[in-house]
Amino acid sequence: MFTISHTQSILSDGRFAARRGVLKTTRGEIQTPVFMPVGTQAAVKSVEPRDLAEARAQIILGNTYHLFLRPGDAIMRAAGGLHKFMSWDKPILTDSGGFQVFSLAKIRKIRDDGVEFASHINGARFFMGPRESMATQRTLGSDIAMCFDECIPYPATQKYARDSVAKTLRWARVCAEQERAPHQALFGIVQGGVYSDLREQCAKGLVDIGFDGYAIGGVSVGEPEEELIKGIEDSAPHLPADKPRYLMGVGDRKQIVEAVARGVDMFDCVMPTRHARNGSAFTDYGSIPIKAGRYKDGFSPVEESCPCYCCRNFTRAYIRHLLNANEILGARLLTIHNITSYMRFMERLRASIDNGTFDAFRREAQQIT
């Protein structure tokens, strides 16, 4: 169940408002807007579940395609589902595998009933469609499952996008008919590329089927930022106000704030973890290239105001040393910091909607470098 407690209208046309809500699951309530760290293969890279809990992560994301390949349904079933397998007792959302239809385009073939993949691990051929994706997500036992869809590439012709939307809607109907794990919610995914009429058609088609929430997909696939924002604006007004809205794969903090201003509630991205492994730390004011030479004798925390384990105990100089020496501890500590930084950012964002200062928060966010 999703309830909205506060809204703050920002944009002059009146179609959008920043929303403050609560998404209730059997494993806990999720305060929205929310950012979900990505745990593609039953782990958020380099950190433990207790690190995520300490950072105050409310929900994480897993990936159906990857977990279908390994460890596979049989092992996951024997383990008692994804939560028990990875020892995470808070909510989990599972992506359906639809993004891999885009990201693994060179090793897949799209059919009317699903997708033939060549495994990125060993080249073995296998098939995944809406039934197979939902069956795996049922075994995983995620709190939120996603419909299997085709993530449209950028650029794409209008004909390609039209055919893809028709396919995504057919697959969504099949997904909605499948058995789910107990208390498992199901979200539909709006596609349509850069074409406003197709986004509207897809959104309305999904609403006619009826889902527990709705995602805006096919963004952050190489398009300019203005097209990303347009994709939100072409989709969100056609989605129910009383259901959560999830913008898939977007982690840039400025873009998160702009999406919240347009009525989006949920986000995920690999940015906090990937940037940590590459030596970048997120702070309230922008990112810091910790591996840079100027931090070799920087004996202050990564961020003075941050309460995370990394900043409480270690210095920029030490983190830089670990990263340059290829010590895994460096990536681990910086990932703890980056995830904490994102969680704190979202807490401040939620507070700004609660107290009516979101517009000021939005202006401040635009100054982040």
What is the enclosing helix (H) or strand (E) of 116? Answer: strand 114-118
Note if 268 is an active site residue: yes
Name the one residue in this structure whose structure tokens are 């760290």. Answer: 37
Q: Looking at the DSSP assignment, which residues form a beta bridge with residue 94?
A: 62, 145
Q: Residues 256, 266: contact at Cβ < 8 Å?
A: no
User: Per 3-state DSSP, what percentage of the chain is helix, strand, and coil (rounded to 5)?
Assistant: 45, 20, 35
Q: Which of 13, 73, 95, 359 is catalytic?
A: 95
Structure tokens at 54: 């300490």
Q: Distance (Å, rounded) from C-alpha 133 to C-alpha 150?
A: 13
Q: Which amino acid is at 361?
A: F
Catalytic residue selected from 143, 149, 234, 268: 268
- Is residue 95 part of the annotated active site? The answer reads yes
In this structure, the number of other CB atoms found within 10 A of the CB of residue 317 comes to: 15
Hey, which residues are catalytic here? 95, 268
